[in-house]
Amino acid sequence: MVAKLTAAERSAALASLPGWEAVDGRDAIRRKVKFADFNAAWGFMTRVALLADKQDHHPEWSNVYNRVEILLTTHDCDGLSQRDVKLAQAIDRILTESGN
């Protein structure tokens, strides 16, 4: 069973992930990203998809043309866990590498 972050761990995680915001009404974090076009958005999503599947931890996400919205939470503990922090950090690295 994966452990839910404590209040202190949650605050520290959010402070360390400036691109992410808390989600109203859910113990989750969200990042919205805008790309040049669909091609760029899909390329990003594909990298995240492979990574998420390897980590066996999948985002709740949506895409409209060049915009992608990603929500992370851990269903197993009904809230944020270290798995979300790890995936968020990896997503941030992909975004940095691709100039976002």
Interface with its own copies (CB under 8 A):
38-39, 42, 46, 49, 52-53, 58, 60-65
Determine the Cα–Cα distance for residues 44 and 59; give it in Å rounded to an integer: 13
Give 9 or 42: the residue with its C-beta nearer to its own copies.
42
Side-chain-side CA neighbours of 47 within 13 Å: the count stands at 16
Residue 77 DSSP one-character state: G
Minimum distance between the CB of residue 73 and its own copies, rounded to whole angstroms?
10
In the three-class reduction of DSSP (H, G, I as helix; E, B as strand; rest coil), residue 45 is classed as: helix
**Residues paired with 68 in a beta bridge:** 33, 63
Give 9 or 79: the residue with its C-beta nearer to its own copies.
79
Give 22 or 49: the residue with its C-beta nearer to its own copies.
49
**Residues paired with 21 in a beta bridge:** 30
Minimum distance between the CB of residue 21 and its own copies, rounded to whole angstroms?
18
Minimum distance between the CB of residue 23 and its own copies, rounded to whole angstroms?
14
Give 67 or 86: the residue with its C-beta nearer to its own copies.
67
Determine the Cα–Cα distance for residues 11 and 47; give it in Å rounded to an integer: 28
Minimum distance between the CB of residue 66 and its own copies, rounded to whole angstroms?
9
